[in-house]
Structure 1
Amino acid sequence: MGSRMGLIGCLIIVVAIVLQLSGATAETVYTVGDSLGWAVPPNTSYYSTWATTNLQTFLLGDSLEFNWTATHTVAEVSEADYNNCTKVSSVIASPFKFTPPTAGSYYIICTVDDHCEQGQKFSFTVNGSPAEPPTSSASSLSVGALFAIMATTFFLLSIYFSAYL
């Protein structure tokens, strides 16, 4: 009876591992500026440093959450408007969650007063998600997972029956 429970336990663990490895990764939500939030930063490179150092890589499906308490805006602008801190119409209430729709470069600024000039802006790049494998690899992953489950089940059953026959 004890070996049967061990066999069932091993099988459950193997199935759980295979399902975990074959599952898609979940979306990551980043709070822009961490504890500072979306505010006029202490220096003009604060958000650039935050985006490159703390996050390393944004993936398709990740979201950026902007939180603020004072008067601020979130505006997605062109690279030229970002570099020049060009004012555009954009008033969004806090909190605001931005999920980039495609891979590529994005430019975000605050359009209130001189906040952008003081460094309340950042740019970032979104890479394609590793959770979206090409169609051909998705089917091979399913076949691979099925093979791993079947091979493990066969192996564990052969051990079980050899012990009792």
Structure 2
Amino acid sequence: MVGTIILFNANCDSVWSPTSWKQKPVAQPTNHEDQEHLSGLPDLVSTQEIDQLSLLVVFAARGQVFIMQGGDCAEAFSDVRPDIIKSKQDLLIARSKYLSDGLGKPVVLIGRIAGQFSKPQTSCFETLSCGEVVNTYRSDNVNGDDAIARSADPDRLYMGYHSPQ
């Protein structure tokens, strides 16, 4: 077993470790009425792909490669179209080549693309212009943009799971 990494941030009173996230409160829980709805679906990413990326991160930590991550903060299901994805992919590839040439080392490109359907918000609720308080829109994977579609809906996770495939 590899030794535990523990980092301490002088600007923070807490100690970080790979499992410290488990001690943190869930600030924005998504309360799905049907928690079992997605449990039978296969993984989106294989263990082999995770292991490959982990190795590339090690190479980056050694300075052998540079990691570039790019993409939208949150996407709409309607943006999962070949023309839009190709355009984003081409842009990311061009930027990574530019970086690679400038740095003189390989660039590992991690695309946030065709699957970024959720994002946290600063508040769980928002007040509409009419004064009604509704759940905050958290992107297509969680709820709808329309005020009447603001409840967390596990079917949206199912749609998000199948959208990029």
- TM-score by length of structure 2 reads 0.26
- TM-score by length of structure 1 reads 0.26
Of the two structures, which has the highest relative contact order with CA contacts closer than 8 Å and spacing of 6 or more?
Answer: 1
Higher normalized helix content (fraction of residues):
1
